[in-house]
Structure 1
């Protein structure tokens, strides 16, 4: 028998087990935010090329949010067991279904169109939820420790 009252609220474990960054941003915060992501990813166990790849993928997503998603966005970075998760959301008009289906590498002479392709290539997983109200992209990186 416990001393807890029968109607006492239960503790809920959040899905995001360790939120590291939750920040709105615009063009002025891109560089600072990239540095914060780098520090948190390193502290979470990413090293070397894996760290560089993850930070570049995140940078592409936040740059896309500013360029194509209404000039601003929000970023959340958190730890889950064995992985680091980053979510970037914007308030743009969404990404076309054709663009999302096209997984081919952009032509070398193409000035734009590299962001989503790079983010997909440089992360372990990438999920996109897009529509008229904006886009949310979630990427992950496996952390060894």
Structure 2
């Protein structure tokens, strides 16, 4: 078991692996970053609905960073050992623990609150660290593996 925190702030990705993408972004760059993530993820071997799901999950994370996390964020994308990872960080006030622990699907009539839920549902794994100095979320998708179950209903 490693003592390294997988969500520790870093200027490089864990294990010194060169990132596929390392960008800061603000509201005006969300679309550009999403397109770049899609391109890099596809070049890494993610295809079909797995690619679509991963890109949508990343889009939800970067949108949350801009809307709720101080207006800007940082993204790191890397691949190692057959898994694609994306980490998004912001400097917002953090996410309430009750909200982080709530795994229920948001009510259909609710306009907000879908971002983290979707990111969790559309990725293989999601880790979150949040506090008064910001939030960091890391998601992953297995490359070339079987497609996980799709969202129900």
The reply to whether TM is greater than 0.5 is: yes
Indicate whether 1:72 and 2:72 are aligned: yes
For residue 16 of structure 1, report the CA deviation from its aligned partner. 4.7
Correspondences of 1:92-107 after superposition (within 5 Å): 92-107=92-107
Q: Do residues 17 (structure 1) and 56 (structure 2) align? A: no
3-state secondary structure, aligned to 2:23: strand
TM-score w.r.t. the length of structure 2 is 0.84
Name the Cα RMSD after superposition: 1.1
Once residues 114 and 79 of structure 1 are traced to their aligned partners in structure 2, the CA distance between those partners, rounded to angstroms, is: 26
Question: Shift of the alpha carbon at 1:133?
Answer: 0.2
- Determine if contact 1:18/1:80 at 8 Å carries over to the other structure: no
1:70-127 CA deviation, whole Å, 9 max, x = no partner?
Answer: 0000000001111000000000000011001100000001000000000000000000
Shift of 1:130: 0.5
TM-score normalized with structure 1 length: 0.89
Q: Does 1:38 align with 2:41?
A: no
Would you say how many aligned residue pairs link Structure 1 and Structure 2? 132
CA gap of 1:16–1:50, structure 2 versus 1, over 3 A, is farther
For residues 112 and 101 of structure 1, what CA distance do their matches in structure 2 show? 17
Q: Which runs of 5+ in 2 are unaligned?
A: 1-13, 146-153
Q: Report what 2:148 is aligned to.
A: none
Matches within 5 A, 1:1-145: 15-144=15-144
The structural deviation recorded for 1:144 is 1.3
Structure 1 runs of 4+ with >6 Å offset? none
Gaps of 5+ in 1: 1-13
1:15 Cα deviation from its structure 2 partner: 1.2
Q: Distance in 1 between matches of 2:100 and 2:123?
A: 16
**CA deviations over 1:13-63 (Å, ceiling 9, x no partner):** x61524101000000110000000000000000000000000000000000
Q: Secondary structure at 2:75's aligned position in 1? A: strand
Q: Report the more deviating stretch, 46-55 or 18-27.
A: 18-27
